[in-house]
Structure 1
Amino acid sequence: MRLGTVPLMFLIILLSVFGPLSTDMYLSGLPQMVLDFNTDEATLNMSLYMFMLVLSFSILFMGPISDKYGRRRILILTMAISVLSNLACCFVDNIWLFIVLRMVQAFGGAGAMVSAFALIKDCFEGPERARILSVTATLGILGPMLSPVIGTVLINAYGWHSTFYAPALVGLICLVMGAMLPGSQPEDRLTGTVLNSIGRLGAVVRDKGFTMFMMMICIFTMAQLAYISVSSYIYQENFGLSTTEYSLALCGACILALILSNIVRRLGLSNMGVVKVVFALGILSMVMMATVAHFGWLWFMLSIVPCCSNTITARAFGYVILMNHHDGDNGSVSSVLNFNTFILAFFGMIIASNFPSDMFIMAIAAVLAICCTIFVVMWYLLRKNGYPVKGLIES
């Protein structure tokens, strides 16, 4: 049995959200988990940071390995690991074992995300590929924000353990569907040793045009995850929102960001026009975060909306360009893109979390300032080198 086009698209969507949903679904359950594990907030938060770190580096190597050994084998292996580690998280009472299992879980999530982007390029072309990339890029951005919303519903109904049973179920579905993929994908397998396959990452990273544009497209993810990592403290402790109200605020920011990014899309701007809008939205978010976000939870929520919107907008058009820039390195390109996204997210979480709790809002503003600065520098270098990215400058 083989997957048709619609089931394949469904599998790709499931794989795209698998990593983001696994990242922080249990966020609203952290206070209860601190008690259950008899630990403190700082130690428990390591389960978030270490997940992100392992996810980043696992993604980096998973792509070229799947280019050599095939999508189906890697997907079945990583989904099996993910299902088992998610289930194991429900039965441990030692915090350090829980953190280790979260790191194993991240390895499984990496296989899902790399497979999603590689399958898009393996199986689709032209406008259809662009459309699917746009959808999956948007889901990848919204996933970490919607994940705590879904988690809150599950926790209120069944407790925090349900936030690990749910990803295990999704992983099992992906495993079954992944087993139906043709063993021949990708058709242009990399030859040689595993180290040679991993060495293909260097060929992608050494492309300066690709790397600079990738940094521009992914950089504001650092600010978005900085926001997510401290948002529960700001909304619940600073502004006095309940757990449910906190999840609704995250959901509201997602909806407004989608509306704003859809408005930008409907403007029909050129690629360079989109780049300018992305930068303008980053500046707007930084200014609002530094000046009005502390006035109340609504102002705080509105301040992050331009940032979330520009990450959706940037990835929706930028991933299409970047995936088309290199031929024959689908897994490697997917790995580098996802690694860059999640390692930036990791640094954003670390920077924001190390500010004093009464300065968390300014921490987000500081990360936004860093993002805007890096964006401008990369833009300048691209322009200085004549925009050496295939398809960036329309003919």
Structure 2
Amino acid sequence: MAGDGRMFLPLLVVLTGLGPGALQIFLPALPQIRADFSADPGVAQLTLSLSTLSIAVAMLLFGPLSDRIGRRAAVLLGLGVFLVGSIGCVLAGSIVMLVIARVVQAAGGAAGMVIARAMIRDRHPPEDAASMLAIVTTAMVIAPMLAPVLGGGLTDLFGWRATFAASGLAGLVILVFSLQSLPETRPADTKARPGLFAGGGRLLGHRDFLAYALQGAFSIALYYALLGGGPHVVMEVLGGSATHYALWFLPVAFMFMVGNLVASRISRRVGLDRMVLIGSFGNVLGSGLALLLALLGMAAAWTIFLPTALVAFFQGLSVPNGQAGALSVDPNAAGTASGLSGFLQMAFAAAAAQMVGMLQNGTVWPLLLTMFGCGLMSLLCFLPRLTGSRAASTG
């Protein structure tokens, strides 16, 4: 099926935003969910934590699946799973059933996050793919920014089940448009397509894939360290409010979007590896600046969030280019590469957020040191790619 070329990029944008949006839209409803089911807060929190784990595992599976059965079929399957999970959430009669249904919904939403990247790489060379990935990646920021606002309004007006109904309705609309307009992009070649373990193992043994994937994983981990530790630092350590935190976080999200938009314009001209290297240095520069200001006794919200906004801009430059690079290592396994790199990003992100939480000691240091460590590792992990390229060009 050829599909409608005009709908290709918009469809990939909404497919990418569906999973993150569904993850965030019900968060304002958590207190009401706990009250309705008389649930322990830790059990209710599983609707979020197990959903995050579900996304990570599903990303690992949907990538190679799309290499085997085709991108279009895998997307449609994921959307079907998402709808089943959404219906289960709306009809859930207990907190346990809600957790299970939310895990199913999250798994289905992960399909678009993975396969959209692979579909772009199928159609475009690395530098062009990086420009388009920069546009698609903004959906992963915009959706989580808008979804809680929508979810809060729906909860206040109609109750918590309306948040899952809204997610399901969005998934249904996207499914209808995908059936009509989403093309198959997987290359039609005769080479055997690797399975999950064979393809994943081959990629993990490839120096260039590891350089791109680990650079991106540590970059995202830096961002999630702020998500995990920022609220505690602002509200408990610095004495701010939830609104205070939300307002300070806005420039971080905004600068990430700006960085992605700049990357969409200049990646082809500057070059993929240079963009990733610039972003890696930006990770170190921004997180190092926040750490230095704290060492000088200037620990405050602005000394954390404004340098992190600088980091976010540079990540907007590097993340889409790193994704394009990871997917270009083996074009026959672009789906597997997308799923594996996505899994590494989610796993490292969860580990960084958890580390900040476990190390909390009433100061800013656990957050700032974790962020700086992730930024430094993003640079160190990418250096083998540069030294290898230089050796190849002079050999």
1:278 paired with 2:279, answer yes
1:213 aligned partner: 212
2:6 aligned partner: 6
1:368 aligned partner: 371
2:26 aligned partner: 26
Judge conservation of contact 2:199–2:336 (CA < 8 Å) in 1: yes
Matched residues, number: 387
Judge conservation of contact 1:205–1:211 (CA < 8 Å) in 2: yes
The alignment's C-alpha RMSD in Å is: 3.5
Pick closer, same or farther for the CA change 1:333–1:121 going to 2, 3 Å.
same
Q: Could you give the per-residue CA deviations for residues 235-261 of structure 1, whole angstroms, max 9, x where no partner exists?
A: 556644355x65444334312343466
Judge conservation of contact 2:118–2:327 (CA < 8 Å) in 1: no
Deviation, 1:73, is 2.4
Pick closer, same or farther for the CA change 1:46–1:227 going to 2, 3 Å.
farther
1:167 aligned partner: 167
Pick closer, same or farther for the CA change 1:192–1:122 going to 2, 3 Å.
closer
Q: 1:302 aligns with which of 306, 330, 333?
A: 306
Pick closer, same or farther for the CA change 1:147–1:332 going to 2, 3 Å.
same
Deviation, 1:344, is 1.6
Aligned AA (1:371): C
Pick closer, same or farther for the CA change 1:347–1:15 going to 2, 3 Å.
same
CA–CA distance in 2 between the matches of 1:154 and 1:39? 21
Farther off after superposition, 215-224 or 175-184: 175-184
Matches within 5 A, 1:305-320: 305-320=309-324
Instruction: Could you tell me which runs of 5 or more consecutive residues in structure 1 were left unpaired when the two chains were aligned.
Output: none
1:348 aligned partner: 352
1:135 aligned partner: 135
CA–CA distance in 2 between the matches of 1:297 and 1:145? 20
Judge conservation of contact 1:191–1:197 (CA < 8 Å) in 2: no
Deviation, 1:57, is 1.7
Deviation, 1:5, is 1.1
TM-score w.r.t. the length of structure 2 is 0.82
Matches within 5 A, 1:28-177: 28-124=28-124, 129-141=129-141, 143-177=143-177
Identical columns (%): 20
Q: Could you give the per-residue CA deviations for residues 338-392 of structure 1, whole angstroms, max 9, x where no partner exists?
A: 2222222221222223233734x43332321331332243234334434689xxx
Judge conservation of contact 1:382–1:388 (CA < 8 Å) in 2: no
CA–CA distance in 2 between the matches of 1:278 and 1:155? 39
Aligned AA (1:210): F
2:327 aligned partner: 323
Q: Could you give the per-residue CA deviations for residues 132-191 of structure 1, whole angstroms, max 9, x where no partner exists?
A: 222113333554455435544544554443332232122112222232357865242677
Aligned AA (1:50): L
Judge conservation of contact 2:55–2:110 (CA < 8 Å) in 1: yes
1:251 paired with 2:247, answer no
CA–CA distance in 1 between the matches of 2:231 and 2:33? 15
Farther off after superposition, 172-181 or 376-385: 376-385
Judge conservation of contact 1:227–1:364 (CA < 8 Å) in 2: yes
Instruction: Could you tell me which runs of 5 or more consecutive residues in structure 2 were left unpaired when the two chains were aligned.
Output: none
Judge conservation of contact 1:289–1:364 (CA < 8 Å) in 2: no
CA–CA distance in 2 between the matches of 1:37 and 1:24? 20
